[in-house]
Chain A
């Protein structure tokens, strides 16, 4: 399992559009990818799961990847968060 932490800098947090983009990005990987905020966890494959975490500016999230392509998933997702969130 690989993971990274990220502090959200986007003013609007993870609302509908970034949630859609993130779920789309996650579907490129075979690994199971989980978004964690505090004690709440959600699969990042589903838009609704991502949105239920209610991620806002300043929140720290952990992205976990578990599977055969976890290395490439983590490096792609780190770039994704930096570019979009």
Chain B
């Protein structure tokens, strides 16, 4: 009976991380930057964005919001530390194509819009728009499973993480 309720409540499949940026989900190895393809920062997946809106993938606190506005790092209520890095090498764009809507210490809810990027500006400047999403504390979890797919929406699950 307990097992039935676990399944009913979705606990069976682990903690769900929802899609932060809509688009096509690709494997880390397909990201054209060794920092991410070699998973130097943590367990990594990529999203080729179809839109520049970044949604909170879970209820969380903001740990890092870079002044250059190209990346944000969150800690979920379950202890998952996640970095969402908009584009490759976009730190060099000095914030220009980005709008950061949160600051360090903010408490956010799943689905909140936390950041916006102008894809046209990033493309025009010659940077890759792919968004690496990285679990930076993977050692604290038993398993991390990313779900790849095309045309994913913010209501879809990007990762299932078990403690």
The verdict on A12 contacting chain B, using a C-beta distance below 8 Å, is yes
Q: Known interface pairs A12-B68, A52-B64. Does A20 touch B81 (Cβ–Cβ under 8 Å)?
A: no
Tell me whether A36 is interfacial, beta carbon within 8 Å. no
Using known A-B contacts A47-B41, A51-B73, determine if residue A17 contacts B35 with beta carbons closer than 8 Å. yes
Contact across chains for A52 and B63 when beta carbons are under 8 A apart: yes
Query: CA separation between A41 and B68, bound complex, in Å?
Result: 22
- Counting CB contacts under 8 A, is A7 at the interface? no
B41 & A54 in contact (Cβ 8 Å cutoff): no
By secondary structure, the B interface counts as: mixed
Q: Contact: B73 with A21, CB < 8 Å?
A: no
Cross-chain contact B71 with A48 (CB below 8 angstroms): no
Interface residues of B in 60-75 (CB under 8 A from A): 63-64, 66-68, 71, 73, 75
Bound together, the chains give a CA A21 to CA B85 distance in angstroms of 16
Query: Contact mask A1-28 → B, CB, 8 Å, 1/0?
Result: 0000000000010011101110110000
Interface residues of B, Cβ cutoff 8 Å to A: 35, 40-42, 63-64, 66-68, 71, 73, 75, 81, 83, 85, 91-92, 104, 136-137
Q: Taking A15-B71, A46-B136 as contacts, is the C-beta distance between A24 and B64 under 8 angstroms?
A: no
- In the complex, which residues of chain B have a beta carbon less than 8 angstroms from the beta carbon of A24? 40
Residues of B within 8 A of A15 (CB): 66, 68, 71, 91
Partner of A47, one of B67, B92, B136: B136
Residue in contact with B40 in the complex, picked from A12, A20, A52, CB distance below 8 Å: A20
How many residues on A have C-beta within 8 angstroms of the other chain's C-beta atoms?
Answer: 16
Instruction: Using CB atoms and an 8 Å cutoff, list the residues of chain A in contact with chain B.
Output: 12, 15-17, 19-21, 23-24, 46-48, 51-52, 54, 56
A48: chain B residues at CB < 8 Å are 63-64, 73, 75, 81, 83, 136-137
Chain B nearest Cβ from A36, distance in angstroms: 17
Hey, which chain B residues are within 8 Å of A54, CB to CB?
Answer: 64, 66-67
Kindly report which residue of chain A lies nearest to residue B41, judged by CB atoms.
A20
User: Given the known A-B contacts A12-B91, A16-B85, A47-B136, are A21 and B40 also in contact in the complex, defined by CB atoms under 8 Å?
Assistant: yes
**A-B pairs, 9 with minimum CB distance:** A20-B40, A20-B41, A17-B35, A15-B91, A48-B136, A51-B64, A47-B136, A48-B81, A47-B41
- Alpha-carbon gap, A24 to B92, bound state (A): 23
Q: Hey, which chain A residues are within 8 Å of B92, CB to CB?
A: 12
